[in-house]
Structure 1
Amino acid sequence: MTVSGTVKRTLAAACAAVLTISGAAGADGAKVVPAAAGQARGPVTNLPLPRFVSLKTDKGNARRGPSLTHRIDWVFTRRGMPLQVTAEYGHWRRVRDRDGQGGWVHYALLSGVRTVLVEQDMLTAHALPNPQSPAVAAFELGVVARLGDCIPDWCEISAGGHEGWVPKTALWGVAPDEIRD
């Protein structure tokens, strides 16, 4: 039995429509499950999407798709670098860095330890989350720091044996509305 081209195209279109309506997988196989509170959740971990993680190793290959057979598009080479998870598929997480570079990374290369990237040169850290409080440190542009507590406009960070409170707007790796205790 042979199937004509028209029947094949019609069948393919019907399958695509069913997948689109059911909200199944995206073009790269990633699923995003909407949460009741309006925030999407990953289908594998049930954690919020997007969310921030950090690179656990000195080298992490970002691939075009979620498997070892996909080509490597990017290599992350900085341990602790904050990354944003935007999708999940099996043991793979689609991530991006602050410049938008990224791809699919195996979950074993990622850590839940929160870090941030300092986006302002010689960022003054204060003893308290107040610009009038004493300065206790200064962080250079590009420093990867450990993320501590966050209130609406400030976050506590630490790096190189120094810690202090800095404006949240000077950091990448923390959501603008994120609160951490």
Structure 2
Amino acid sequence: MCFCIALCAGPGLANPPQKGSVTQLPIPRYVSLKASEGNVRRGPSLTHRIDWILKLRNMPLQVVAEHGHWRKVLDFEGAGGWIHYSLLSGGRTVVIVQDHLDLHNHPTAESLVTARLERNVVARLMSCKPNWCRLSSSGYKGWAPKTALWGVTQTEVFD
């Protein structure tokens, strides 16, 4: 008798990543607010009530669903709703989620500190290695551990 069905099935039988029904892009995925203001609604249409208004350009958001020209998004605090796709950008940003974050010259904790960012600062995401990401904020650039960031998955790696 085998009790390891899920573990023994192997990668060939694992569930494929979910894709958006409209864009065929991965769900969930991260985007940013393109506009300086965006209405977040209860549902995917102009007839739905506005629950809140985003007022921070470049704020990272996580797309968790799609319906026509609308995207259901979550912010770094877990608040969510529907926003029109034209207000979103594929440009990547992150929010600093710890009180103080040192940016390093290289992706190691022992390297020279180039700047210090505070909680809730939005930074542009430039590249990511397995445990570190290169950020840019207010003219400062440097590397930060992924664990201090919201807006990037722990498995993402890109240049």
- TM-score for the superposition, normalised by structure 1: 0.78
1:69 corresponds in structure 2 to 47
1:51 corresponds in structure 2 to 29
What is the SS of the residue equivalent to 2:48?
coil
Q: How many angstroms apart in 2 are the aligned matches of 1:37 and 1:132? A: 39
Query: Percent of pairs identical after alignment?
Result: 58
Q: Which consecutive residues of structure 2, in runs of 5 or more, have no partner in the other structure?
A: 1-13
Displacement of 1:140: 1.2
| Matching residue within 94, 104, 113 for 2:82 | 104
Q: How many angstroms apart in 2 are the aligned matches of 1:122 and 1:73? A: 31
What is the SS of the residue equivalent to 1:40?
coil
Are residue 132 (structure 1) and residue 110 (structure 2) matched? yes
Are residue 115 (structure 1) and residue 93 (structure 2) matched? yes
Are residue 88 (structure 1) and residue 49 (structure 2) matched? no
Q: How many angstroms apart in 1 are the aligned matches of 2:16 and 2:153? A: 16
Q: 1:5-24 maps to which residues of 2 (within 5 A)?
A: none
Q: How many angstroms apart in 1 are the aligned matches of 2:158 and 2:125? A: 9
Contact 1:74 1:102 in 2 (8 A): no
Displacement of 1:122: 2.3
Q: How many angstroms apart in 2 are the aligned matches of 1:161 and 1:134? A: 17
1:12 corresponds in structure 2 to none
Q: Which has the higher helix share?
A: 1
Q: How many angstroms apart in 2 are the aligned matches of 1:52 and 1:37? A: 21
If you compute each CA radius of gyration, which structure gives the higher value, 1 or 2?
Answer: 1
The one-letter code sitting in structure 1 at the alignment partner of 2:115 is A
1:148 corresponds in structure 2 to 126
Q: How many angstroms apart in 1 are the aligned matches of 2:99 and 2:156? A: 23
Give the structure, 1 or 2, with the largest relative contact order (CA under 8 Å, sep 6 or more).
2
What is the SS of the residue equivalent to 1:41?
coil
Displacement of 1:37: 6.4
- TM-score for the superposition, normalised by structure 2: 0.89
1:180 corresponds in structure 2 to 158
Displacement of 1:158: 0.4
Q: How many angstroms apart in 2 are the aligned matches of 1:102 and 1:58? A: 18
Q: Which consecutive residues of structure 1, in runs of 5 or more, have no partner in the other structure?
A: 1-35
